[in-house]
Amino acid sequence: MSKRRRSIGRALLVLGLALIVPVAFMPSPYVIERPGPVINTLGETNGVPMVQISDATTYKTSGRLNLLTVSLVGSREQTPGWLEIAQAWLDPAQTILPVDEVYPANQTTQQSDAENAAMMVESQQDAVAAALIHLGHKVPRQLLVADVFSGTPASGLLKAQDQLLTAAGKPLASSVEKLRDIIQANGSKPLNLTLLRGGKLLGLTLSPYLDGKTYRLGILTTYRYTFPVQVKITAGDIGGPSGGLMFALAITDKLTPGQLTGGRNISGTGTIDAEGQVGPIGGIEQKMYGAARAGSTVFLAPSQNCSEVVGHVPAGLHVIKVSTLAGALDALTKLNQGVAIGSLPTCTK
């Protein structure tokens, strides 16, 4: 090859790199989901037991009941570059999502973080309620406003700690699901609410706004339970509601004789309500990879996530599908009794 051809080749290589490198680091319109920290709900967080119980007899536990998380790379303000997107595309443990799917255009990152924090608190309370109700306790509750977003229909009308009683004339029965259903059915029309504030009964009217495909008032809700047993959960800065099932299992394990895990390393995920119903979550593929990397061979998955499970289970991980706390407890009890794991309910096509 002549010196001239070599010089031209080097020049073209330099030019190509000069064009490609800036593009590789340019922000993309995507964010990345990848496996996050795996935390044993039977263990400790920063030297403090994750689940602490007082006013009741507790029992020794063993093994692990892992709560799984998803790490999100990027935000609306700072998305990953195209090079990082390309690397994530090659990794089956990572998922690329449009930023608008994760952060709605009219919601700031701070609002999203606040919503996730509120959902985690609500999830913990629901998990305590589910475990105690399963064990035969009565657990009264109230539906409260946790926070009000500025610039929304609720701003200036609703306040934190307002107790919500009815919507559109229908009793809410302390159920946020009923409130959401009523708001969706109502649409953007004026919606009548009754509530208790400082012991006084009030009536308000406000019009929900459309956020994507969901009508909202602009509030975060929470429950206030009256628990017969005091349970404290220390979860650090984990957000979202998907740890509910694993919290409920850990509480139940500590309050009942025997060792629920049989010494196994068990992972799982799923929301939970006070009645013990297990609901679907996001990022289940990342959570299964997180479980496998943490050494789990058993993974509890919400039955409503089965379509995302099939075809994506990492090698060495066996998925048990569950729809209730009672079903999850029954499956783990059968494992301890020597029932073959392959005979337990799993996700199929």
Place of tokens 């030019």: 15
User: Which pLDDT band holds residue 81 (cuts at 50, 70, 90)?
Assistant: confident
Place of tokens 């208790």: 196
Place of tokens 């783990």: 332
Range name among 46-50, 72-76, 128-132 with the lowest pLDDT average: 72-76
SS3 246: helix
For 239-250, the pLDDT digits (tens) are 778 899 999 999
Nearest to 72 by CA among 111, 113, 36, 43: 36
- The DSSP call for residue 24 is H
Q: What is the mean pLDDT of residues 191-209?
A: 95
CATH class of the domain at 31-71+113-135+229-343: alpha beta
- Cα gap 263→145, rounded to integer Å: 41
Nearest to 308 by CA among 283, 327, 289: 283
Q: Is the dihedral of CA 241, 243, 246, 250 positive or negative?
A: negative
Note the pLDDT of residue 204.
95
Percent of the chain exceeding pLDDT 90 equals: 63
Tokens of 298: 């058993």
Percent of the chain exceeding pLDDT 70 equals: 91
Tokens of 312: 């994506």
Residue boundaries of the structural domains of the chain: 31-71+113-135+229-343, 141-224
141-224 fold: Pdz3 Domain (2.30.42)
For 7-54, the pLDDT digits (tens) are 545 555 555 545 455 555 577 788 888 999 999 999 988 888 999 999
Kindly report the average pLDDT of the chain as a whole number: 88
Predicted TM-score of the model (pTM): 0.77
